[in-house]
Amino acid sequence: MKNKMVKTGILLGVSIFSVVFFHGKTIASNTIRTTMSMNLSEVWEEVKEENGVKVYYSLIEENGRTFLKVKFENTTNTVINFNWTLTNDTEIVVAEKSNKIEAGQSIEIYDATMLIPFQNGDSFQNYSILISKF
């Protein structure tokens, strides 16, 4: 009986330790994964105008890494539906995407599912956008 109580006590102690230890790890993991965003520049640099669409680049920093933001501006008086592809030198970074811009409006392309890494040594001239209307 005493042996069974000792085993139960040890099992209970290990269980409590595990719950406390792993719960603490979960909280620490959640804290570490906090996203910190900071615009490196509020200035958009115009890099191209094609088919009534102006293209601008800007940079954003998240968790110590730098990413490229892209903005498209419709310079016409009509809605524009267009496809675009972004390359870094000869490598496709964003394969053909479709967007719609209302007349005189603009849209910014930047979200967690489509991060565009901007490496040390890169410049806006390394990136090229091909635009086609449909």
Tens-place pLDDT, residues 64-88: 889 999 999 999 999 999 999 999 9
Task: Give the tokens for residue 120.
Answer: 């040390």
> What is the CATH code of the structural domain delimited by 37-133?
2.60.40
Domain residue limits, the chain: 1-34, 37-133
Report how far residue 46's alpha carbon sits from residue 16's, in angstroms, rounded to the nearest whole number: 59
Residues 6+ apart with CB under 8 A from 53: 72, 73, 74, 75, 80, 82, 101, 131
How far apart (Å, rounded) are the C-alpha atoms in residues 43 and 98? Answer: 25
pLDDT per residue over 33-70, tens digit each? 333 445 555 689 999 998 899 999 999 888 888 999 99
Residue 56 vs residues 73, 106, 124: alpha-carbon distances, Å: 8, 10, 10
Q: What is the pLDDT at residue 90?
A: 84
Please determine, for residue 9, whether its predicted confidence score (pLDDT) is greater than 60: no
Assessment of whether the complete model's pTM goes beyond 0.85? no
Top pLDDT among 110 and 5 is at 110
What is the predicted pLDDT for the residue at 114? 74
